[in-house]
A = this chain, B = another copy of it.
Amino acid sequence: MEGEPTRIIVAVNESTIKGYPHASISSRGAFEWSVQKIIRSNTSGFKLLFLHVQVPDEDGFDDMDSIYASPEDFRRMQHRDKVRGLHLLEYFVNRCHEIGVACEAWIKKGDPKEVICREVQRVQPDLLVVGSRGLGPFQRVFVGTVSEFCVKHAECPVITIKRRADETPEDPVDD
């Protein structure tokens, strides 16, 4: 009756705040918003596709095209303990398993805004969700915004989820 699930790419990145890899505030916000406001109790109606784009030379990871779809897939990779991107994706895949939503997650290297749009073209999701720090125009000049680029150029509908004011860190450029 429901047909194919709605496929949502959620673009996620790491926090800039601490040394240990963990999801940025805006990535977590975008994910939790999608679960609470869109998926709600209809967990079988959706599939979440987590895309993490690593800027080249960030680390030595070179196994970019594997797909990780369960916690087990990650345990096999645990010996690669420097792989920060996997920890990031593991967080979201684990959350999906808790909630009961189907998911996939993968890593690409490159310029995030361009890779996200290229992956949208390749994967053809129904929707792209991107978190945003919600910076003002002055700050945007220096840090650029991936979300604005995707809203303009991605070949599917895009939702930008702005970080909540009460979650903004001391330096709003941090995330």
Contacts and interface: CB of A to CB of B under 8 A. Distances in A.
Interface of A: 1-2, 6, 33, 37-38, 40-42, 45, 126-127, 151, 157-162
B1 A41 contact: yes
Contact of A158 (B45, B127, B160): B160
Contacts of A161: 157
B40 A6 contact: yes
Given A1-B41, A42-B45, A160 B160 contact: no
B159 A2 contact: no
Q: Oligomeric state, in number of copies? A: 2
B159 A40 contact: no
Contacts of A41: 1-2, 42, 45
A6 B45 CA distance: 16
Nearest to A152: B148
17 contacts: A1-B41, A2-B41, A6-B37, A6-B38, A37-B126, A37-B127, A38-B38, A40-B45, A42-B42, A42-B45, A127-B159, A151-B160, A157-B159, A157-B160, A157-B162, A158-B159, A158-B160
Contacts of A37: 6, 126-127
A66 to B, nearest CB: 28
A162 B127 CA distance: 12
4 closest cross-chain pairs (CB), A and B: A42-B42, A40-B45, A6-B37, A37-B126
Nearest to A132: B157
Nearest to A40: B45
